[in-house]
Amino acid sequence: MSNNLSAPDPAELSSSVGSGSNNMGVELANERAQFLEMEEVNFTDNELVYHVRTALKSASSGDSESYDELIGVMHHRERLSPDEVAMLVTCLKALSGTVSCIDVVHHESLLSSIFGMSMWNYGPEVMDALVDLIISLAASSGKFVDSCLDMLIRNFVPPYSYLALLKQPRGLSRKDQVLSRVHSALESISHLVPLAPMRLLSLVIQRMPRQNDNETVMMTYVENMFKLESGSMGQLVGSTMLIAVVDRLLDLDLEIGWEDIVQDDSSKGIFEMELEDLEEDEEDLNDEGDELPGKHLSRNSLRGNVIAEKLDSLLVLTFEYLESCQGHGRLLEVFETLLHSFRITVLNAYKSKFAQFVMFYACALDPENCGVRFARMLVDIFVCHDHPPMTRMSAVAYLASYLSRGKFLSANYITTMLKRLVDWCLDYCNVQDGDVNPFAHRVFYAGCQAIMYVLCFRMTSIMSIPRLKSQLFLMPIETILKHKSDPLKVCLPSVVGEFLKQARAARLFTVTKTFIFDDILESELSRAFGGLERLDSFFPFDPCLLKKSDSFIRPNFIFWSMVKTTYDDDEDRDEDEEGSGDEDGEESVDGVGEDRRDRMATSFNEQDIDIEEFDYALNKMSITPKQSLMYKFGGGLEELVRMPSRIRPSTSPESL
Amino acid sequence: MEGLKVSDANLVVFLHPSKSNRVSKAVLHELSSHLFQFSEIFDGVLLAYDVDIVDRNAKLLSGIHPYIGVRLKAKLLLFSPKPNMLIEGNVVKLTPESIHVIVLGFASAVIIDEDVREEFEYRTKHGKEVYRSKAHRRHVIEVGTMVRFLVKSLDREILHICGSLEPSNTGSIHWLDQNFGSGTKRERENEMKMQEHAVVGGEEISLGNDQSKKSKKRRLREES
């Protein structure tokens, strides 16, 4: 067959041939010159189809010569010459016309070569022909539908050899060509086979790259999943796609060893902790030890690093997708799916680290709808007895962290949410009469701690609005906190300490007995109420440590250093520079102060801000010691060396 | 159209105890999970159901989790095309080698050129593809035509039907009804009305009227 084929004369093509295959004559006519040596035998489309049909039929009965030739053409892959391309296109088109003759058993090798083809290896003409063939196959018989869908799904990502090329413009244009065809093929198939999306769903999920797969592969695949979500099949497959992406985010998140890196020894200063880690890194680089935490931090954190980068990229991809959804006015419907997914997976996941920032960012994009909806869902879970205590505690921890950190939330709304928490706690107080019992009253303690935590961040901003200030004063917070079960003793000491300090300064209320905390992060009682999961020290929206994601989150985020506390006027200045002519009494709404600390923070470049924030964060409010994480992920040695010098006030430029 | 039937069924649906506070919802959810799938027990594809809970007392399946067995009486709309039945569908694609049809909005059917009788030939008219009968100039099949065809086989997994346009009582329904008629005009009207009110999974589709047929999928496509 390969010897006899030549370009058919366009004039020979009869008008009875379908419009789709008319292009063939035109295309091949361009290649005419190359065929001059061969016999000038002209085939019309019909004759080609007939020829292929015969080849297939004879293969069924044992004579497989033409059939083998056909398969041989399929296997040409790299650097096809123009006549090879033409040959391939011709074969594919002829096959499209003979799909009804293709038998799943007798023509297995042909089918496997077709399904094994990767569109990334070819140019647009071959892509088009191949796609047409796949669509025809899928529509012709139920037996081929799954394989066709599978083949298209496998074309979501390029073959490994192609991955490096993706970054070049050539690779990007090829990607565009392939993916647009793949998705339109999927749509065509669902048009002809209405139940195809159902099969597509399960296949896409099955083939989704796992945590350990190559990062580019995963990102490209997820891009495709998002494309499906926003495409015409979106209503049918969209929510499953989103849920699967969130699941994968969570999988990556949970791979990062929280326990591997967290240092439980809270008596050490931060810098000592970091410098120690640094030494350990150098020692353990070549160590082949086991994977216990502490001793071999470097190996674990390096491993976490790769995963963290993947998580970072995936989060950024999701953020960008949310932005595009917002652009198309679809954010709210996408958000509903995300909310549902959050509720059934992330909320109950053991200390999810960063996956929840998807919700944060979505809320930031649309505070009035998404932002409100999210908080309301969390409060509803907290106050509802139907949910298990763990879920309720987790919900209120999310709520507290969210209300404190969301720059886009109005003081008014925060006050409303606070009121709901306070009301519930008050009801609880009126009903319960028990003594200190961290386990029995754990949901209550979680609620109290949430109220205190939010007020640590937001007290000033609430106080600055007279109407809200009076609402705050009317709230029976004192009654709740001075209840027999003694939340002030049980809740996290650092939170309680900071809260009391601010409450006294604001004259919200005072306590008669003094609480001496000495900057202890946690106590036995708090650990008891927090339980095994340590929900007492769970602040899910603490600063995001993933570099790329953080650049999205940062503009919408309140760092502790930005918060103006009620006792700011009397605040000691051991860590601020001197000589600034700034007035302390500057009022600002929403806690974003113009004070010295904030100015210092914003005048640094991006990297330094991280260090600055974390330093303050650890010292003040953020309980979980994350400095070491930061250094493993994003920083190099430079920051470590520089940081101590930044803290010394006299050498920081802003002090001058 | 043949192949559609309404069956009465006595069912027992077993629910997990966590669903015990919202039994009706759980029962509907369970039944919905069987929609558009071929069931050996019912011998057909479940298209729609109408359930009544018979007994407020349920039987308990003892075990680690005591599942609650709720007794139901249901009317089930089933679709079970058998070979040599005549069914109807909407043409969505025409190629020289095949005619692609969608039946009831969810089942795909294909009629290959070998199964199309001689009188039809494939032509391209003003850029549109048609199958035109050589014997009767007005008998035309194009994209959007409702056709009646004979069932050759059914793939139960993906609900894919292989059809045939060999018999002379197959082809465009519009033309066939005009020229052959099926019973009296009144009978035909009644049949069409009955088909129009078939409820498929909660959505109404109208059958037997090629002008206004809008399957759920087509409507979705047009909206998007």
pLDDT in tens, A44-90: 777 777 888 888 888 877 777 878 888 887 777 666 788 888 888 88
Tell me whether residues B162 and A141 touch, CB distance under 8 A.
Answer: yes
Residue A630's pLDDT band, with cuts at 50, 70 and 90, is very low
Residue A407 has pLDDT above 90, yes or no: yes
Residue A567 has pLDDT above 70, yes or no: yes
For A78-108, write each residue's pLDDT tens digit. 667 888 888 888 888 888 888 888 888 888 8
CA-CA distance, A322 to A638, in Å (whole number)?
Answer: 35
Which residues fall within 8 angstroms of residue A67, CB to CB, at 6 or more apart? A55, A56, A58, A59, A107, A110
CA-CA distance, A118 to A129, in Å (whole number)?
Answer: 13
Does the pTM surpass 0.90? The reply is no
CA-CA distance, A377 to A346, in Å (whole number)?
Answer: 14
Which burial class, exposed, middle or buried, applies to A648 when counting CB atoms under 10 A from its CB (0-12, 13-18, 19+)? exposed
> Amino acid identity, residue A107?
H
Q: What is the pLDDT of residue B137?
A: 87
In angstroms, the separation between the Cα of residue B14 and the nearest Cα of chain A is: 23
Which burial class, exposed, middle or buried, applies to B134 when counting CB atoms under 10 A from its CB (0-12, 13-18, 19+)? exposed
The answer, for B160 touching chain A at a CB cutoff of 8 Å, is yes
Provide the domain limits for residue A32. 2-210
Taking a C-beta distance cutoff of 8 angstroms, is the pair A127, A181 a contact? yes
Tell me whether residues A195 and B123 touch, CB distance under 8 A.
Answer: no
CA-CA distance, A9 to A29, in Å (whole number)?
Answer: 7
Taking a C-beta distance cutoff of 8 angstroms, is the pair A199, A241 a contact? no
Residue B37's pLDDT band, with cuts at 50, 70 and 90, is confident
Q: What is the DSSP string of A270-338?
A: HHHHHHHHHHHHHHHTT------TTTTHHHHHHHHHHHHHHHHHHHHHHHHHHHHHHHTT-HHHHHHHH
Q: Please check whether residue A418 lies inside any domain of the structure.
A: no
SS3 (DSSP) at B133: strand
- Say what angle helices A372-383 and A357-365 make with each other, to 10 degrees: 130
Phi/psi at A424 (nearest 5 deg)? -65, -45
| Range with top average pLDDT, A74-78, A502-506, B97-101 | B97-101
For residues A106 and A139, the model is more confident at A139
The answer, for B138 touching chain A at a CB cutoff of 8 Å, is no
Residue A466's pLDDT band, with cuts at 50, 70 and 90, is very high
Q: Please check whether residue A96 lies inside any domain of the structure.
A: yes
SS3 (DSSP) at A33: helix
CA-CA distance, A562 to A601, in Å (whole number)?
Answer: 8
Phi/psi at A628 (nearest 5 deg)? -65, -35
CB atoms within 10 A of CB B89: 28
Taking a C-beta distance cutoff of 8 angstroms, is the pair B93, B9 a contact? no
Residue A508's pLDDT band, with cuts at 50, 70 and 90, is confident
For A227-279, write each residue's pLDDT tens digit. 999 999 999 999 999 999 999 999 998 888 765 445 444 433 222 233 333 33
Q: Please check whether residue A357 lies inside any domain of the structure.
A: no
Strand boundaries in B120-196, DSSP class E: 120-125, 128-133, 140-142, 146-155, 160-164, 171-172
Q: Which of B100, B127, B221 sits opposite A192 (nearest CB)?
A: B100
Residue A520's pLDDT band, with cuts at 50, 70 and 90, is low
Q: What is the pLDDT of residue A272?
A: 29
The total number of structural domains in chain A stands at: 1
Tell me whether residues A142 and B159 touch, CB distance under 8 A.
Answer: yes
Best B94, B95, B217 residue to mutate vs chain A (most A CBs within 10 Å) = B95
In angstroms, the separation between the Cα of residue B72 and the nearest Cα of chain A is: 28
Q: Please check whether residue A62 lies inside any domain of the structure.
A: yes
Q: Please check whether residue A462 lies inside any domain of the structure.
A: no
Q: Please check whether residue A115 lies inside any domain of the structure.
A: yes
Residues of chain A with Cβ-Cβ distance to B162 below 8 Å are 141
Lowest mean pLDDT among A426-430, A512-516, B76-80, B150-154: A512-516
Residue A298's pLDDT band, with cuts at 50, 70 and 90, is very low
Q: Please check whether residue A54 lies inside any domain of the structure.
A: yes
Q: Which of A49, A139, A195 sits opposite B36 (nearest CB)?
A: A195
Q: Please check whether residue A295 lies inside any domain of the structure.
A: no
Which residues fall within 8 angstroms of residue B81, CB to CB, at 6 or more apart? B2, B3, B87, B103, B151, B154, B161
Residue of A nearest to B94 (CA): A18
For A631-651, write each residue's pLDDT tens digit. 444 444 333 333 333 333 343
Q: How far is CA B140 from the centre of its chain?
A: 23
Residues of chain A with Cβ-Cβ distance to B97 below 8 Å are 49, 97-100
Q: What is the pLDDT of residue A84?
A: 84
In angstroms, the separation between the Cα of residue B187 and the nearest Cα of chain A is: 31
Residue of A nearest to B223 (CA): A232
Find tokens 């007895």 and name the residue: A385
In angstroms, the separation between the Cα of residue A321 and the nearest Cα of chain B is: 19
Q: What is the pLDDT of residue A516?
A: 58
Tell me whether residues B124 and A99 touch, CB distance under 8 A.
Answer: no
Q: What is the pLDDT of residue A494?
A: 87
Nearest to A12 by CA among A34, A41, A37: A41
Phi/psi at B155 (nearest 5 deg)? -90, 110
Average pLDDT over residues B121-146: 90
> Amino acid identity, residue A627?
Q
Which residues fall within 8 angstroms of residue A155, CB to CB, at 6 or more apart? A118, A119, A120, A178, A182
- Mean pLDDT taken over chain A: 76
Residue A458 has pLDDT above 70, yes or no: yes
Interface of B with A in 43-82 (CB under 8 A): none
